[in-house]
A and B are shown apart, each in its own frame.
Chain A
């Protein structure tokens, strides 16, 4: 790890932004590729994760295992997983904000599932400690739970 003790506040922030941006980009790639080993390396054991809203997938999770289980639950409906394209990435110190567009294919129908995402990532010592995810829950209901 780089010694930042002699850096100015601005340089430290710049370096933190670069480091955290790289971690988040890697995490998004790992999610798309279902690279569980990669995700395990990036996510804190006690990650505070919330998929916001009232869909059956929406919940608060406080463990790495719980997060991976949710990924598996969503993935069971999909052919592959959600490929995320970053539309804007806003690094801001310990937080990284991502606007992204997703593409996936529903296993049952072959339909394209193209949702939009806003993700708020908080990192500490190179690990994701908080993640807030906003997405269109109406589309989740329509594509994943059409009978509810």
Chain B
């Protein structure tokens, strides 16, 4: 029983490692390969990429372009450093640092906390927390004093 639990924990950590490695190399195919087709993202806060999103199609056609187009691809590096803080059979919690320039020339050195959920041997849920004020200024060029409307599909707890 313990061995089975341990192997599930290790499998979860490996999936998360592959998710970070794919981000580091901007390998979208590998990034998608470790996630279920109906993967759910809950991105915290008030930014253009905040809220509830479901499915690889939404991820690749809406969310990733919004983020990638706002970054200077030659300098920006996701997963510069990352670390699994804790893991069990159902959840992995990890922190990640990204560094580089946004396409407007501002530095976008971001720190994330991600909580992952799993189904059928893949990542099926991601909760993401990060410095939303930095994202608003560096990625989206928004004044911080300007109210950002709540996401169309609210973050689900």
Residues of A bordering B, CB below 8 Å? 10, 52-55, 58, 87-88, 90, 92-93, 95, 97, 99, 101, 115-118, 120, 132, 134-142, 145-148
Contact partner of B85 among A55, A95, A147, CB < 8 A? A95
Whether A52 contacts B136 in the complex (CB less than 8 A), given A92-B87, A120-B85, comes out as: no
- Report B-chain residues with C-beta under 8 Å of the C-beta of A137: 45, 131-134
- Determine if B147 and A142 form an interchain contact, defined as CB atoms under 8 angstroms apart: yes
- Determine if A88 and B157 form an interchain contact, defined as CB atoms under 8 angstroms apart: yes
Name 16 A/B residue pairs within 8 A (Cβ), A-sorted. A52-B111, A54-B133, A90-B88, A92-B87, A95-B85, A95-B93, A97-B91, A116-B44, A116-B45, A117-B129, A118-B44, A136-B50, A137-B45, A138-B45, A138-B133, A142-B144
Minimum C-beta distance from A50 to chain B (A): 9
- Report B-chain residues with C-beta under 8 Å of the C-beta of A90: 86, 88, 91, 93, 115
- Report A-chain residues with C-beta under 8 Å of the C-beta of B91: 90, 92, 97
The 8 closest A-B pairs by CB, nearest first: A136-B45, A92-B86, A134-B129, A87-B157, A53-B131, A137-B133, A138-B132, A141-B144
Minimum C-beta distance from B116 to chain A (A): 11
Minimum C-beta distance from B141 to chain A (A): 13
Whether A101 contacts B113 in the complex (CB less than 8 A), given A54-B133, A142-B46, A146-B145, comes out as: no
